[in-house]
Amino acid sequence: IAARAPTGEYVLWYTAVLPPGKLPVEGGQFCAGCDSGNSLAHCGTDANRNSSINLPTYMVHSTSPYGPWSMPQMVPGTDVFADSNFAPVINADGSLVALARNNVYRAADWRNVSSYDVIATWDDEGEDPFVWLDKKGIYHNIVHVRRANTVGRHYWSDDGGSSWTKSEGDTYTHVVRFTDGSTLEYGCRERPHIVLDREGVVTALTNGAAEQTCHSDTKPVVDYSYTLLQAVGAESAVR
């Protein structure tokens, strides 16, 4: 996930196993391509995973989106089995508030990962949070719930991210209406991200969307996906 620092830097947090670490695959079996956008049989999401290898989160930054990038720094507490889904907001004073799997992080300085501390936990009903701050100083986050018949959930915090309250209802569903009048029931809509305009107003939602299935190992595997952008509003539709 990416953010822009108030001093202009481009900042990335990503899951990786850095050299000389071993790749997290089982038995040396690597994916060998795809067929019409779908994974080959041995490329299943979890079936090919070597669970003894952790998936930590690292932070890098640059003054340009083209690099050069700083040396990776590991975020404390993320050297664990599952990727952390680290989702940060960099505040105007350079401090940081972030969510991970059930953990709330706070840091005095976004570029100093040694200052990243877990200050609380939160009830993450789904996964893949995306966090943003509105003009009133209230933090928000959106997650997806379930890998089939996916829905979105919205949470908010008015105490600097220490505690989070879940809003009622779904923020989105797996059914999308297009401007030509057609609808599509997606297999899943994961990785929700909010698009903000220059004034900080929410304008759109993006998802990693799969028309058939997500994370399927069942043959034939039909798991191609793409980025879906939907404008915000009760009558909004996808073009």
pLDDT one-digit tens code per residue, 174-183: 999 988 889 9
- Confidence band of 200 (pLDDT split at 50, 70, 90): confident
Phi, psi torsion values for 41, nearest 5 degrees:
-55, -40
- For residue 144, the model assigns a pLDDT of 94
Nearest to 125 by CA among 149, 155, 88, 98: 155
- Confidence band of 124 (pLDDT split at 50, 70, 90): confident
